[in-house]
Structure 1
Amino acid sequence: MTVTLTADSVWFNADVLTLDPGQPRASAIAIHGGRIVAVGSDQDILNLANAQTRRHDLHGRFVMPGLFDTHAHPLLGGLRDLFEASVGQNASIQKMLDAVIERAAKTKAERWITGGAWHLGQLEATGVEPRLLLDACTSIHPVALTDATYHHMWLNSAALAVCGIDASTPDPAGGRIVRDAVSGEPTGLLLEAATAIVRDVVRPDADQLREAVRYVRDSFHRLGLVGFKDALVDEPYLRAYHEADVAGALDLHAAMHLGRRSTLELGVKSFDELERLRVQYQSPHLHNSFIKLFLDGVAPSRTAAFLQPYLPCDDCSAQNFDPDAQLLIDPETLAQEVIEFDRRGFVVKMHAVGDRAVRAGLDAIEAARHANGFSGLRHEIGHTAFIDPVDMGRFAALGAVAEMSPRLWFPNPVTAGQYAVLGPARTNRCHQIKSLLDAGAELSYGSDWPAAAADANPWIGLAGMLTRRNPFGLFEGAVGADQAISLEQALPLFTTSAARTLGLEAVTGAIAPGKSADLVVLDRSLQGQTARDIAQTQPTMTLFEGRVVFER
């Protein structure tokens, strides 16, 4: 019996880059029931149309698979843009203070003022106790401002009081309450996990989270994104995503990294609690078999774990330097946790900025491989900013993913902070993308938005990979110019390889028969364009499961 193939819609007269090695280029696509049923020439695809088929002439426009962001904090970004006093990544401390004064004039007394971003080096350079700077802006509102990395917070006296932080408050595990050297009183600066004390008090309500989900969905569609990984969620975030997906309103492939120890909340979740969250909030586009662990902090605040000392380092030497001092989980505990998560079917993403933290993460993955065999789970080193050459080949050997985020592979507002504590030679070894690819590692792209990235625009990240220079010339020079890669090498980080990190390589990531019709349409080909042109890419249309979810 002959089966006649038909299509709901056909898209033809296009320049299609499929990312499918079996058929790299085409001019037309047929879609039925949200999936691609055929890819080929205009005539072949038009033959699949009947009287009910919708025909779309794309007039030569460029079509490629929709993009993925494998490390973002979308709801934090949405909440920031919608509800907070935000001044951008490159603002001065004075501009931040001015924004607080302006927001205070419009906010009822005792209501929280939140926002950002600021840079630790700039704040320290003022020479003024941080809380006093904010107290001068308002004493009747609690104020909590997040730094550019989203690892630290700056509070005024009212916020410290509301959160119950005083001289007797102990530092939480993995965090520090900065204190006056004489009085022991908090200065208003909270580092790393200490920020969870504030986030445990200042929580967005359900309506704000629902609005943030809608904002993120629409923003991602405008950028040509069809999927993402939220790198750290708690239960209210999960609930908001789940509600949207069950209502048919998420329209994105989404992986949720559940936090065992989290900067979003205090305490440690049990394995059973994480199992409950995985099952309770599973839905068609929400995939919850993912875990986030923090192995270290960030370089500008000297909380990332490196094999060599920070610069300047007046009080340390090769003899007394301890590379493990900044590790947030001791290696033995980390290995046991990754073994257990691997056994339970969770993919682990480990935040690792410094090369000591990267090595600890790889060691834990190796321990899981020895204990459980190769489970098929491809655990990730999140950020993978700095890698010792000895560890470069271990990613491929262990089946581990090197996730590239944030966009620090070209000069940006964070670069000065990197230079100050690492020096130029080490800073220029940031994100060794080419060396990892040459070593056979699989990589994926992440923005880390809104941490250390002003926006979630993937095209800027793509452009920077091609030159290692700021695509718009906003900052001079390059970061690791020898690590520049080609467009052909870079695109899988945003598509096929990225989809694999969600476990969806059979579902999406390429334009091929049987895959979800997740496409982005551009007004021009990416090939032959300058890096600046690629950075300025604006999709004209985004399709998710065959439906137009954005059209410019």
Structure 2
Amino acid sequence: MRYLRDGGPLQQAGSGRPHVLRSRDEAEGSQAASVVRLTAADWLLENARVATLDAGRPRAAALAVAGGRVVAIGTRAEVEPLAGRRPERVDCGGATVLPGLVDPHLHLYALAASAVNLDCAAPAIRDVADLLAALRARARSLPAGEWLRGEGLDERRLGRLPTATELEAAAPRHPVRLRHRSRHASVLNRRALALLGRVEGCDPRAGLVGGAENALSRLVGPVPRAILAEGLVASGRRLAAMGLTTIADATPRTYHGLAPLRQLMAAGSFPLRVFAMRPVGSSPWRGGGMLFPGPVKIMVEEGSRGLRPGPSTLARRIAAAARSGAQVAVHCLGAATLVATVAAFAALPARYRVGRRHRLEHVAECPPPMVATIAALDLVVVTNPAFVHWRGDAYRAETSGPARRWLYRARSLAAAGVTLAGASDAPIVPASPWVGLAAARSRRTAGGHVLSTGERLGAADALALFTTGAAQSLRAPALGRLVEGGPADLIVVEPDPLRAPPDEVADTRVLLTLVGGRPAWRA
């Protein structure tokens, strides 16, 4: 019998031999994830609060898994005969069993590359002087001429952005690229600017380059393969520990670009299901195993010169992707982008739109008239409730009056019948889905202010953002719920997010994560 609550450390595997599990803080980052892969794939979870998120049987006390699928949900007496001959028995001690969580928009390779990037948002970096000191220290550890990379640059946190001249003085033997927290702009030093050459959207005096991130990434070059592989394995472990069982990598990649991830999956070293977004014009590919093609993603930049691409080009790209049979996801931060994107979808013939689950990513600003239009076009909104927590104080400083009520809408969209999904957009903000769940309910910023109380969601609707809603955004309705015959993607957590207050939900502890019946994490 396995006990997931504190005070029950003895574990018993199918062989009948007892095992002692280490505590979470000892096991995390260790070989625990690979050790649990040796246990049986059949499970009996009992003494639990099972929330299936399925209307047919929303609550139960026990659940059985065999062959990677849920085979029974009900009471212990109903479930036990169907649990297989020698299941792993788990006494949940009253903890809650939920469907595995789904994050339909994060940047997996960026998370994996954190080992080679200077964290410009580290707690010790409080201003530009601290940042330059960290740059000097990092430069001393690198061979001359090697790129010095940084992530998470935030002018509000630092007081201002560093200049190209300051970066050059801090690291004169290296080209330097510090990527803005939005991942849509970078600050370069003089050496890096010379390597980049003249590009649109570049302020050479400040070193600020906007709208040229793809060109810059090609110039900097890929993260070394071994470091990327290590980072992907570590990221998979961390995400599983948060209760995520499925993610979507929102950085568009070709099938070839997914080779490092495919190799790790084939070796059993990456435990999550992954939907990979595709670039415009890329060749379609067939999913299999745990890797699936995601939407075709279209980027739109909104600046002082208008939209890039412009509305007509954007409409042509959306139409071409939709005609190819793809689901389309459009990056929609500002209101101008949203209006142009919705107009493009409205112009599509119904056969290219209805049932496709085309997506609007972020929707940071949504003017009131757009709500009903989005609903009428059957578009999915993939929102970022955790931004209300992490960035809400900045939003309050930057907006006022009615415009504040446009920010990261939730309840008004749901009330109009829009399918809502929740995503972290990590590493823009931390990947925890529980912070997003809590923020969707409280709309409370890190500074303690409340942003648009009228957009608060109830507990069930907030949980749906990262379960059923997220699954629909990926056109994977079998995920995000627990049903007999469905995939055994599930988590055991404390407290129950359907009953606990938001502050407690933000600190949810994940005790066990199963993906297709295989343990990906245990506390």
Class of the TM-score when normalised by the shorter of the 2 chains: 0.7 to 0.9
Identity of paired residues, percent?
Answer: 28
Q: Which of 202, 219, 227 lines up with 1:177 in the alignment?
A: 202
Q: Which of 411, 417, 426 lines up with 1:449 in the alignment?
A: 426
Aligned to 2:290: 285
Asked if structure 2 preserves the Cα contact closer than 8 Å seen for 1:408 and 1:415, the reply is: no
- How far residue 339 of structure 1 moved from its aligned partner, in angstroms, is 2.1
SS of aligned partner of 1:234 = coil
Asked if structure 1 preserves the Cα contact closer than 8 Å seen for 2:357 and 2:380, the reply is: yes
TM-score by length of 2: 0.86
Q: In the superposition, relative to structure 1, how do residues 49 and 373 fare at CA in structure 2: closer, same or farther (>3 Å)?
A: closer
Q: In the superposition, relative to structure 1, how do residues 12 and 177 fare at CA in structure 2: closer, same or farther (>3 Å)?
A: same
Asked if structure 2 preserves the Cα contact closer than 8 Å seen for 1:443 and 1:497, the reply is: yes
What residue ranges of structure 2 are gaps of 5+ in the alignment? 1-40
Deviations 1:347-397 (A, max 9, x none): 111001111211221122222244x35452110000011112111012221
Q: In the superposition, relative to structure 1, how do residues 524 and 408 fare at CA in structure 2: closer, same or farther (>3 Å)?
A: closer
Asked if structure 2 preserves the Cα contact closer than 8 Å seen for 1:405 and 1:447, the reply is: yes
| Residue type of the alignment partner of 1:466 | R
Query: Counterparts in 2 of 1:33-182, with a 5 A limit?
Result: 33-49=67-83, 51-80=85-114, 82-88=115-121, 91-120=126-155, 125=160, 130-161=163-194, 163-165=195-197, 169-171=198-200, 176-180=201-205
Aligned to 2:371: 392
Q: Which of 450, 456, 468 lines up with 1:484 in the alignment?
A: 456
| Residue type of the alignment partner of 1:389 | P
Query: Counterparts in 2 of 1:240-255, with a 5 A limit?
Result: 240-255=260-275
Aligned to 2:333: 353
Q: In the superposition, relative to structure 1, how do residues 100 and 373 fare at CA in structure 2: closer, same or farther (>3 Å)?
A: closer
Asked if structure 1 preserves the Cα contact closer than 8 Å seen for 2:361 and 2:383, the reply is: yes
Deviations 1:397-443 (A, max 9, x none): 11110110262223x34642x45554454234211101001111000
Residue 196, structure 1, aligned to residue 214, structure 2: yes
Q: Which of 506, 516, 521 lines up with 1:545 in the alignment?
A: 516
The 2-side partners of 1:431 and 1:213 are apart by 30
Aligned to 2:321: 341
The 1-side partners of 2:122 and 2:104 are apart by 21
The 2-side partners of 1:43 and 1:125 are apart by 63
The 2-side partners of 1:253 and 1:88 are apart by 29
- How far residue 289 of structure 1 moved from its aligned partner, in angstroms, is 4.4
Aligned to 1:295: 300
The 2-side partners of 1:296 and 1:414 are apart by 22
Q: In the superposition, relative to structure 1, how do residues 177 and 49 fare at CA in structure 2: closer, same or farther (>3 Å)?
A: closer
The 1-side partners of 2:117 and 2:352 are apart by 47
The 1-side partners of 2:510 and 2:237 are apart by 13
SS of aligned partner of 1:257 = strand
Deviations 1:429-482 (A, max 9, x none): 21110100111100001111112x1x1001001101111103xxx413122122
SS of aligned partner of 1:190 = strand
Aligned residues: 479
| Residue type of the alignment partner of 2:76 | D
- How far residue 73 of structure 1 moved from its aligned partner, in angstroms, is 0.6
Deviations 1:502-541 (A, max 9, x none): 22113x2101112110111113322332221111112011
Query: Counterparts in 2 of 1:316-465, with a 5 A limit?
Result: 325-370=305-350, 372-405=351-384, 407-410=386-389, 412-413=390-391, 415-416=393-394, 418-419=395-396, 421-423=398-400, 425-451=402-428, 453=429, 455-465=430-440
Aligned to 1:320: none
The 2-side partners of 1:368 and 1:245 are apart by 37
Q: In the superposition, relative to structure 1, how do residues 376 and 532 fare at CA in structure 2: closer, same or farther (>3 Å)?
A: same
Aligned to 2:474: 502
Residue 219, structure 1, aligned to residue 254, structure 2: no
- How far residue 206 of structure 1 moved from its aligned partner, in angstroms, is 2.2
The 1-side partners of 2:312 and 2:141 are apart by 51
- How far residue 251 of structure 1 moved from its aligned partner, in angstroms, is 2.2
SS of aligned partner of 1:212 = helix
The 1-side partners of 2:56 and 2:78 are apart by 17
Residue 528, structure 1, aligned to residue 499, structure 2: yes
Deviations 1:285-320 (A, max 9, x none): 2222421112234xxxxx38xxxxxxxxxxxxxxxx
Aligned to 1:318: none
- How far residue 489 of structure 1 moved from its aligned partner, in angstroms, is 1.3
Q: Which of 228, 233, 236 lines up with 1:209 in the alignment?
A: 228
The 2-side partners of 1:253 and 1:196 are apart by 26
Of residues 432-441 and 133-142 in structure 1, the stretch that sits farther from structure 2 once superposed is 133-142
The 2-side partners of 1:132 and 1:404 are apart by 37
TM-score by length of 1: 0.82
| Residue type of the alignment partner of 1:534 | V
Asked if structure 1 preserves the Cα contact closer than 8 Å seen for 2:467 and 2:481, the reply is: yes
| Residue type of the alignment partner of 1:349 | A
The 1-side partners of 2:424 and 2:120 are apart by 19
The 2-side partners of 1:66 and 1:335 are apart by 36
Q: In the superposition, relative to structure 1, how do residues 10 and 420 fare at CA in structure 2: closer, same or farther (>3 Å)?
A: closer
Q: In the superposition, relative to structure 1, how do residues 344 and 391 fare at CA in structure 2: closer, same or farther (>3 Å)?
A: same
| Residue type of the alignment partner of 2:204 | R
SS of aligned partner of 1:109 = coil
Q: In the superposition, relative to structure 1, how do residues 111 and 296 fare at CA in structure 2: closer, same or farther (>3 Å)?
A: closer
Deviations 1:223-278 (A, max 9, x none): 00001111113346422222222333332221111223xxxxxxxxxx3xx11xx3
SS of aligned partner of 2:388 = coil
The 2-side partners of 1:361 and 1:509 are apart by 28
| Residue type of the alignment partner of 2:292 | H
SS of aligned partner of 2:70 = strand
Aligned to 1:513: 484
The 2-side partners of 1:336 and 1:114 are apart by 35
SS of aligned partner of 1:11 = strand
Aligned to 2:23: none
Q: In the superposition, relative to structure 1, how do residues 121 and 26 fare at CA in structure 2: closer, same or farther (>3 Å)?
A: closer
CA RMSD of aligned residues (A): 2.2
Q: In the superposition, relative to structure 1, how do residues 365 and 109 fare at CA in structure 2: closer, same or farther (>3 Å)?
A: same
Aligned to 1:314: none
Aligned to 2:18: none
SS of aligned partner of 1:520 = strand
Asked if structure 1 preserves the Cα contact closer than 8 Å seen for 2:127 and 2:158, the reply is: no
The 2-side partners of 1:143 and 1:415 are apart by 30
| Residue type of the alignment partner of 1:104 | A
Asked if structure 1 preserves the Cα contact closer than 8 Å seen for 2:385 and 2:439, the reply is: no
Asked if structure 2 preserves the Cα contact closer than 8 Å seen for 1:290 and 1:346, the reply is: yes
